[in-house]
Amino acid sequence: GCYGNTYHETPNLDRLAGEGIAFDRAYTTYPVCTPARAAIFTGRTPLQSGAYTNELPLYETVPTLGEIFGQAGYRVGYIGKWHLDGAGYLGGGKAARGFPDALWYDGEAYRADVGEAAFARGYGSYTSLELREADLPDALCWATRNTDRAVAFIEQHAESDEPFLLVVSHDEPHPPAVCPARLLDRVKLVDIELPATMRDPLEGKPLMQRRWQAADREKYDITPASMRDGIHRYLACNAFVDEQIGRLLDCIDRECRDNTAVIYSVDHGDFCGDFGLTGKGPAMYDAITRVPLLVRAPGVTRPGIRTTALTSTLDLMPTMLELAGITANTPLDGVSQCSTLANP
């Protein structure tokens, strides 16, 4: 909502933007899951980290965010989607280097936790990643369980003299865009504006993109009605994740607001019918490359600021390290944005 979407129900992210700084020109390093996430959690380009396409693991010689912060004396935790171990979309259920097993909650851990019946009810098969009926109750959704664990972690560590780093990595709204059915009423189908480029024939565009568009139209029967339904579920799922982010913000505000920086971003976008395409992949359109970036850092950012400074998700790790006063003893390809945070 804070980026101008009038039918996007995100009051908590809007609140975070109003209490900190919003970047209008933040871009993903690579609009595909694994390489994008590799850049975020190593500060290296996908080619340098080893995870340059989906299902490839990080090089063993490239330290993770958890390792660097842990070595600096931080209590670290990672909850949610990882997709950087080469073990498939759900992960292998084993904590990544630098993060403790006790808090690890990737897709495989979530699946084991809720049981096969509940998992199949909401998520089905991750081989197809098709949108599913949003019929899981709140308590069984992955984002809810991520947030439950995150709140418990913050409450446990907020009063400690030991600083902490916590990553909460929600899978949603990635297809199958699972959320409780009650969220479908939050956005009305009739209000959804379809992308103006949905019927663009992509003349003069790369052959790969034209083939991609043709395949999507054949597979998904892309019509105004089908795209409205898909976008409806996507927005409902975003509203659900926003609720979970609100729970986290409430906990931080209650326990440790004055000394805790909050950073929100995503690994990449989704076409949602823009140029007649779905998902994401090898293309450079704003729909999949431009991402939200919101930062609230006590003593650094000021409320309600927007900036047009150009940045990338590759810059997140260097920025976090500078905010924490940590010097990384490893090469980093991004640059810190702390000067922009303080003087946009």
Burial class (CB in 10 A: 0-12, 13-18, 19+), 48: middle
Residue 31 phi/psi, 5° resolution? -80, 50
Q: How far apart are CA 180 and CA 189, in angstroms?
A: 17
What are the angstrom distances between the C-alpha of 276 and each of 37, 82, 173, 291? Answer: 26, 29, 19, 20
Q: How far apart are CA 212 and CA 142, in angstroms?
A: 30
170 within 8 A of 146, measured Cβ to Cβ: yes
Burial class (CB in 10 A: 0-12, 13-18, 19+), 201: exposed
33 assigned to active site: yes
Among candidate residues 33, 179, 251, 272, the one labeled active-site is 33
272 assigned to active site: no
249 within 8 A of 285, measured Cβ to Cβ: no
Among candidate residues 2, 8, 83, 237, the one labeled active-site is 83
Active site residues: 33, 83
